[in-house]
Chain A
């Protein structure tokens, strides 16, 4: 069944210090898709995610997430419908998880009662209760990253962008936290370690030389007896030793 696109990026081009990391890139992820994004060079996937989130600019191209553009800065628009968690938590270490959630709720424009309801739910789901009212610095990077994910999920976003998140969290707990609920929620996960994302995604995409050279269901890996790893994804894309340029691969 064809689903409407929750993530739509067209013609995205971006060069950094003369190197073209994204080259007229096209990407479409249907509603409810769970996409693992890997890239060579490694930084391209992260850059694409930051462009999608509005943190980095593209030299050219358009982005629409959950039907809204970045220009919609109303609380009920982008702020509630899009979530992003980066590799670093980006929250003040002196804040407590409760304060972070309260701030996220205020920035999303919720009234007090709604903020409390959502904060309580997030504290429970992300197991922040024990450290809810203690400064985040006491819990270290793991607590900061869990809190960042909880704050991103506070608004129940339709599209969640995850840029190599929760690396400081213990592997089993990380997998539990990244099993994001919601059948209609679309998740795009950029990862430098695809093997750690087993069970979290149902689609894979490979960026090479700035283009999407593979976008396929994970089950195609299984069908070919390949593992969810960068090597496995590259083999599925038909890239091996001396396989040629991204344009040639994309043309196959």
Chain B
């Protein structure tokens, strides 16, 4: 545990000192704040639904950029020998990946929560009567779980023998493709990326909270599978 804490601190410091931590935190927040700038006629008939849809669209971009940052950073760490420096000290490779997942995942989820709060505040500012927040909260939790899926996929990409730029590009394409497909195509089954779809079409779901819980569950299972894949891939790689 002491080692993991040291690695978490190191990853956080590395992201902080290069302003990438700030980027990961502020992108979803800016997405939420930007919802207020969207004209009412574009925001949709119902203010909260419209705000949630635009917030979901902005999340596709911000989570995609976050996944690219993580993948590119870890590929650079491999190339620079930083991961090797830890591995020769008997630190399991999986611990390094887990530390990065904890730091980036934590920041990303916090940023998504802040962004959703900002979107809610800007949307309800126009309303005389405040609607029930529970569906939006549930959909945001499911969307955050979908973001963790994108992050875990980025760790898999980072474990491949790729240079930082191709690794970042591949992670960006994968995550944006996965998240945008949920926004663009109405989903019926509780898929790992379903949270984004639910956020984009809040009024289209008869049972938004139940659907959000199901999507969150499948997303967390997908995260676990992808993390195992990332660990196995990095374990087989040369550092």
What is the interface of chain A, defined by CB distance below 8 A to chain B? 50, 53-57, 72-75, 77-79, 82-84, 86, 88-92, 94, 103-104, 106-109, 148, 152
Q: Are A92 and B3 in contact (CB under 8 A)?
A: no
Q: How far is the CA of A107 from the CA of B5 in the complex (A)?
A: 10
Q: Are B81 and A103 in contact (CB under 8 A)?
A: no
Q: A54's contact among B2, B10, B88, by CB below 8 Å, is which? A: B88
Q: Are A103 and B87 in contact (CB under 8 A)?
A: no
Residues of B in contact (CB 8 Å), total: 22
- Specify which chain A residues have a CB less than 8 angstroms from the CB of B236 in the assembled complex: 57
- Specify which chain A residues have a CB less than 8 angstroms from the CB of B2 in the assembled complex: 106, 109
Q: Are B238 and A55 in contact (CB under 8 A)?
A: yes
In the complex, given contacts A91-B85, A92-B10, A107-B90, what are 5 additional A-B residue pairs having Cβ atoms less than 8 angstroms apart? A55-B84, A84-B88, A86-B84, A103-B10, A106-B3
Closest chain B residue to A90, Cβ basis: B81
- Specify which chain B residues have a CB less than 8 angstroms from the CB of A55 in the assembled complex: 84, 87-88, 238-239
Q: How far is the CA of A75 from the CA of B80 in the complex (A)?
A: 24
B contact face: mostly helix, strand, loop, or mixed: helix
Q: Are B80 and A88 in contact (CB under 8 A)?
A: yes
Closest chain A residue to B79, Cβ basis: A88
Q: How far is the CA of A89 from the CA of B85 in the complex (A)?
A: 8
Determine if B17 is an interface residue (Cβ-Cβ < 8 Å): yes
CB distance from B88 to the nearest CB of A (A): 4
Q: Are A104 and B89 in contact (CB under 8 A)?
A: yes
- Among B3, B80, B89, B238, find the residue whose CB has the most chain A CB atoms closer than 10 A: B89
Q: How far is the CA of A75 from the CA of B81 in the complex (A)?
A: 21
Q: How far is the CA of A107 from the CA of B6 in the complex (A)?
A: 8
- Specify which chain B residues have a CB less than 8 angstroms from the CB of A148 in the assembled complex: 85
What is the interface of chain B, defined by CB distance below 8 A to chain A? 2-3, 6, 10, 13-14, 17, 80-82, 84-92, 236, 238-239
Q: Are A103 and B6 in contact (CB under 8 A)?
A: yes
- Specify which chain A residues have a CB less than 8 angstroms from the CB of B92 in the assembled complex: 73
CB distance from A75 to the nearest CB of B (A): 7
- Specify which chain A residues have a CB less than 8 angstroms from the CB of B13 in the assembled complex: 92, 94
- Among B13, B87, B92, find the residue whose CB has the most chain A CB atoms closer than 10 A: B87
Q: Are A53 and B10 in contact (CB under 8 A)?
A: no
Q: Are B90 and A75 in contact (CB under 8 A)?
A: yes
Q: Are A72 and B90 in contact (CB under 8 A)?
A: yes
Q: How far is the CA of A55 from the CA of B237 in the complex (A)?
A: 8
Q: Are B84 and A90 in contact (CB under 8 A)?
A: yes
- Specify which chain B residues have a CB less than 8 angstroms from the CB of A109 in the assembled complex: 2
